[in-house]
């Protein structure tokens, strides 16, 4: 079979949502990758900054946070817990990732908030993300990288009524 494989249902819905807000993205197709390091090794040269996306939870699994940060950043969970005013944070399980965002490990992106219409997951975006022109992410898959201008991301989030919190220190 030749040609470009079709987009998934989630990706098609996302593209429609983006287009409804006058936003376009550039899509790069590639071999599947599961970590930021593997994505870097592709050498896509997108002129955008890669992102790392983490689903974190508080100690009692009552609060969940989708944290978006630069791909090479590290996160200090104790410091982030303090910045968010919550109990100790830890990584959510793959089952919680599926339950709350309908996402799979290694393919989490800021776009997963569209799968959380009840806003059960708080969106937290590192200020460093807003300091660049564009960012990379892998929405709903391991074999594509999408590039979106950060100003377009902010416009899309506002358009879908999704609030987010920014943090300086991770």
3-state per-residue secondary structure call for the chain = CCCCCCCCHHHHHHHHHHHHCCCCCEEEECCCCCCHHHHHHCCCCCCCECEEEEEEECCCCCCEEEEEEECCCCCCHHHHHHHHCCCCCEECCHHHHHHHHCCCCCCCCHHHHHHCCCCCEEEEEEHHHHHCCEEEECCCCCCEEEEEEHHHHHHHHHHCCCCCEEECCC
The pLDDT of residue 5 is: 67
pLDDT tens, position by position, 117-134: 999 999 999 999 999 999
Q: Are 124 and 68 in contact (CB under 8 A)?
A: yes
The pLDDT of residue 141 is: 86
pLDDT tens, position by position, 8-20: 889 999 999 999 9
pLDDT tens, position by position, 57-97: 999 999 999 999 998 899 999 999 999 999 899 999 999 99
Distance CA 88, CA 145 (A): 32
């Amino acid at each position: 079979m030749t040609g470009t494989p079709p987009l998934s249902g989630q990706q098609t819905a996302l593209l429609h949502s983006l287009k409804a807000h006058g936003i376009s993205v550039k899509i790069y197709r590639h071999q599947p990758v599961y970590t930021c390091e593997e994505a870097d090794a592709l050498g896509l040269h997108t002129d955008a900054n890669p992102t790392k996306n983490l689903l974190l939870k508080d100690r009692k699994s009552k609060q969940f946070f989708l944290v978006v940060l630069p791909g090479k950043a590290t996160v200090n969970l104790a410091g982030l817990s303090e910045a968010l005013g919550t109990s100790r944070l830890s990584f959510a399980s793959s089952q919680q990732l599926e339950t709350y965002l309908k996402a799979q490990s290694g393919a989490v992106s800021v776009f997963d908030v569209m799968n959380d219409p009840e806003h059960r997951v708080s969106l937290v975006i590192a200020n460093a993300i807003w300091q660049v022109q564009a960012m990379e992410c892998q929405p709903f898959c391991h074999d594509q990288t999408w590039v979106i201008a950060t100003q377009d991301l902010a416009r899309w989030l506002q358009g879908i009524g999704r609030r987010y919190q920014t943090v300086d220190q991770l």
